[in-house]
Structure 1
Amino acid sequence: MTLVLPSELVVDRFLPTVRAMLATRLADRGLTQKEIAAELGVTQAAVSKYVGGEGGGDDRFRDDPETVATVDRIADGLASGELDGYDALAELLALIRNLEDRGPICELHEEAMPELQGLGCDLCVRGLDPDVRAERDVLSNVRTAARTLAAIPGMADSIPNVGTNVGMGLPDPADETDIAAIPGRIYAMGGRIEIPANPEFGASKHVATAIIAANTVDSSIRGATNVATDDDLLEAATELGIEPLEFDATYEDRGKHLRRRFEERGSVPRVAYHRGAFGIEPATYVFGATAVDAAELVEQLLADGS
């Protein structure tokens, strides 16, 4: 793993870009290169390069509306004398904090440290917040689960026409925004599994409904995935000592119906299924303590049922 601090990206990528942008704008407002150098704390030779378009930098900052607005505001203030160096520094520090919060600096950080991608990282903004750590762990688990599903031999045949998903909830999830899943669902295309995006909270209604229903009855269940209903898979579950639970596909409030069926069973089964209905494709939910647990059970069931 390569450790890269966001501050390194600020120094190497952000500051050269902003200095070049400020130098150009201050020149446009009539300041001499000597005056610009004094304002920016750089040499006159550096200002000459900036104004001549040789200062380098990153187009992500040049094209970022918030950066453009801040630079224009600072240039106007410095040129008119309404801002001094302290004021300009305060503006830039506020901009950096914003750009670290899902902005270009965050984007560059994820490119420099691929381990951060798809984790919804807010480390720069909120620090080692326990809630952020819990969210990161859930996102990481769902991402691993999706990859696990994609690597299962023959998995493409078990994905419903409408796609599948895999999700995991935070402890005591209240609604679908507490459940992380894959946006746009997972699809089979040409025998290959396509995972369209990294997991996000609130990305799935159906899997979230199943997880919340299960978690309400058994708080240890926080993960689930759905696959096409298949008799071989159900038989494999039975052979593993799992008694699949059948439920009705036509209930408008599926979450309430699932909770009632789980309560009638007295527990949340690892496998629950329906046979479909008019306009509703047959589906099977596989549950686990985590999304990875659910995905690994799917892998085992498909291997045993093949």
Structure 2
Amino acid sequence: MKTNAFEVASRYVYPSLRRRLVEVLRERGLKQTEIAELLHITQSAVSRYLRMDRGALIDISAFPDVDGEIKALADRIIEEKPGEYEIHSELVKLSLEFLGKGYACSFHFQIDPEINPAECRICIELFG
């Protein structure tokens, strides 16, 4: 195993969740500068997420349960304008949930062919 679950979460899952969050906020009619301000990131980062330059490996919308949680988070961000640590905490929780449901297994295999998804149950056992 060349990459572990934490690397997969930090390098692929978390950015993909954040990208989807940016997309949902854009779908809600917000401008890039407004999204950047709400998420406490740069407008340049928002632009890269929307251009699929960041977080493009995993299409979060293909996972309806997680996508629903991202949409709920987006609505909460618009209404309550939480701080950056609260948003980060929610995205980390969603990342662990994503791992715990085994959703990242096939992506882990794509980036590390030494992984055998049929045998590896590390994330499911630890985070499920």
TM-score, length-normalised on structure 2? Answer: 0.73
Structure 1 residues 29 and 115, CA gap change in structure 2 (3 angstroms): closer
Structure 2: which amino acid aligns with 1:54?
M
Q: CA deviation at 1:36?
A: 1.6
Matches within 5 A, 1:252-267: none
Structure 1 residues 4 and 74, CA gap change in structure 2 (3 angstroms): same
Q: CA RMSD in A?
A: 2.6
Matches within 5 A, 1:60-139: 60-81=59-80, 83-111=82-110, 112-119=112-119, 121-126=120-125
Structure 1: which amino acid aligns with 2:114?
P
Q: CA deviation at 1:102?
A: 4.0
Q: Distance in 2 between matches of 1:43 and 1:85?
A: 12
CA deviation map 1:38-57 (0-9, x unaligned) = 33343212212333x33351
Q: Distance in 1 between matches of 2:16 and 2:38?
A: 16
Structure 1 residues 77 and 115, CA gap change in structure 2 (3 angstroms): closer
Q: Which has the higher contact order (CA 8 A, sep 6+)?
A: 2
Q: Distance in 2 between matches of 1:13 and 1:65?
A: 18
Q: Distance in 2 between matches of 1:50 and 1:115?
A: 28
Identical residues among aligned pairs (%): 25
Rg larger in structure: 1
Moved over 6 A (4+): none
Structure 1: which amino acid aligns with 2:121?
D
Q: Distance in 1 between matches of 2:8 and 2:89?
A: 19
Q: CA deviation at 1:113?
A: 4.6
Q: Distance in 1 between matches of 2:115 and 2:52?
A: 33
| Matching residue of 2:17 | 18
Q: Distance in 1 between matches of 2:41 and 2:14?
A: 12
Q: Distance in 2 between matches of 1:41 and 1:83?
A: 10
Q: CA deviation at 1:81?
A: 1.4
Unaligned segments of structure 1, at least 5 residues: 128-306
Q: When the two structures are aligned, how many residues end up with a matched partner?
A: 124
Q: CA deviation at 1:115?
A: 4.0
Structure 1 residues 87 and 97, CA gap change in structure 2 (3 angstroms): same
CA deviation map 1:140-169 (0-9, x unaligned) = xxxxxxxxxxxxxxxxxxxxxxxxxxxxxx
Structure 1 residues 25 and 65, CA gap change in structure 2 (3 angstroms): same
TM-score, length-normalised on structure 1? Answer: 0.35
- Structure with the higher fraction of residues in helix conformation: 2
Structure 1 residues 61 and 27, CA gap change in structure 2 (3 angstroms): closer
Does structure 2 retain, via aligned residues, the 8 Å contact 1:17–1:55? no
3-state SS of 1:104 partner: coil
- Structure with the higher fraction of residues in strand conformation: 1
